[in-house]
Amino acid sequence: MDNITRRKLLALAGTALGGAVLASCGGGGSSGGGSQGGGGGQSNKKVKVTMFVFLGGDLGVMPKAFAKEYMAAHPNVTIEIYENSNTVGYPKMLAAKQTTPDQPLVNMGFFNAQTTAQGDLDGMWNKLDYGALSHAKDVLPVLKRKNQQGIGLGSDQVGIVYNTKALTPAPTAWADLWDDKVKGKVTYFDYYWQGVLMAARANGGSLTKMDPGWTFWKQHAKWIRTIVTSNPQYLDVLTNGTASITSYFNGTGLQWKRGGAPLDYVPPKEGAISVPVYLTTVKGNTQDQEQVCHDIVNQMLSPKWCQQWATTSIQVPGSSAVKLPQEFGSLPAFQKQTIDHFIPVDWVTVAKQTADWKKRWDQDVKANI
């Protein structure tokens, strides 16, 4: 179970923000190149690997750059990119697992904490040999998984993203999502249980007692203007004035802002939700594919690529050998105050409740908007 406790989060924050210390640890000269785990570079056998990459913003920048460089260094390896949201793409992976278990839809990829926990329950992941991953030693302890099914590359957080032109003053709390002034102006990703959790907490509920949240959003469904199913669609409705506020990832929100969108991210005063991003490999891989995937995971954890991931995705880097990009220092999401107040989420509970919660999302929320 990958519960992120306050203590662990403090450790994560401290490590990420300790610029000078981290800088001294940072292997800036390390290119991350060269297979150390006996990966694709040591064999001439043709291997094709499909990598799951988050869709939207700059989330595909690092994986695509990595794939290009890796294939140039390992001509026998072909990396295909499968770009999708975890929400939409994971069920397709599961369908492939059930129909053609020896031909997984993707061989490895980037998965958020929720999908990674879901994959644990579905038997989706292979166990990584942390001992054979030379860069794993630098990964923050909080991002190492007890079952070794995946390893953290970075950590994002969920709070409030809003249109700066449409909403003044800026929202400050989760309750701003159901304030009267945003009635009919809220948008959510399809099946956004985080919004329900925060409404549940505001009404005496919790992650294990979500009924108050479902009841609340059933009554406040008219606050929602539309439901989206992809990041580009999200960006569109938030920037064209259709909707003005949502709850979403800090990294994605700030990538949109960096791209010129009139959007910003606010960590709510009640606390944001920390969401680690893991690299995992998928069951059903051939031995050669698994070997290449291990090597890719290891190289992605190297300072060069981990740094690039953190910079492009605007996340806390998962490796202690990487310092937090300087430009992040002033961002609210990376302040100690924000990290101290993260709301703990038991991702296993979330994964176990997915089927029931999706049903309630459809019937209580979507059916009433």
Which has the closest alpha carbon to 156: 344, 349, 333, 338?
333
358, HSE (Cβ side, Cα atoms, 13 Å):
9
Cα distance between residue 151 and residue 129, in whole Å: 10
Evaluated on CA atoms 313, 316, 318, 324, the torsion sign reads positive
Q: Is 218 in the site for another protein (CB under 8 A)?
A: no
* Least Å from the CB of residue 369 to another protein: 5
Q: Is 242 in the site for another protein (CB under 8 A)?
A: yes
Q: Is 241 in the site for another protein (CB under 8 A)?
A: yes
Q: Any idea which residue has 């690299």 for tokens?
A: 279
Q: Is 358 in the site for another protein (CB under 8 A)?
A: yes
- Calculate ∠ Cα 150-61-106, nearest 5°: 45
317: preceding bond cis by omega (within 30 degrees): no
Number of residues near another protein (by CB under 8 A)? 25
Cα distance between residue 40 and residue 54, in whole Å: 24
Which region among 17-25, 67-75, 77-85, 89-97 touches another protein (by CB under 8 A)?
89-97
Q: Is 34 in the site for another protein (CB under 8 A)?
A: no
Q: Is 366 in the site for another protein (CB under 8 A)?
A: yes
**CB-wise, 177 or 266, nearer to another protein?**
177
* Least Å from the CB of residue 34 to another protein: 40
Which region among 2-10, 104-112, 128-136, 359-367 touches another protein (by CB under 8 A)?
359-367
* Least Å from the CB of residue 88 to another protein: 7
**CB-wise, 85 or 250, nearer to another protein?**
85
Per the CB < 8 A criterion, the answer to whether 339 and 159 are in contact is no
**CB-wise, 122 or 346, nearer to another protein?**
122
Q: Is 369 in the site for another protein (CB under 8 A)?
A: yes
Taking residues 189 to 208 in sequence order and writing x for each that binds another protein by CB under 8 A, - otherwise, the string is -x------------------
Which region among 3-11, 209-217, 225-233, 275-283 touches another protein (by CB under 8 A)?
225-233
- Interface with another protein (CB under 8 A), residue from 14, 34, 38, 91: 91
Cα distance between residue 241 and residue 305, in whole Å: 36
Q: Is 92 in the site for another protein (CB under 8 A)?
A: yes
* Least Å from the CB of residue 336 to another protein: 37
Cα distance between residue 109 and residue 62, in whole Å: 12
Q: Any idea which residue has 């203590």 for tokens?
A: 7
Per the CB < 8 A criterion, the answer to whether 65 and 318 are in contact is no
Cα distance between residue 348 and residue 2, in whole Å: 8
Cα distance between residue 369 and residue 367, in whole Å: 6
The contact set with another protein (CB under 8 A) reads: 88, 91-92, 94-95, 98, 122, 184, 190, 225-229, 237, 240-242, 355, 358, 362-363, 366-367, 369
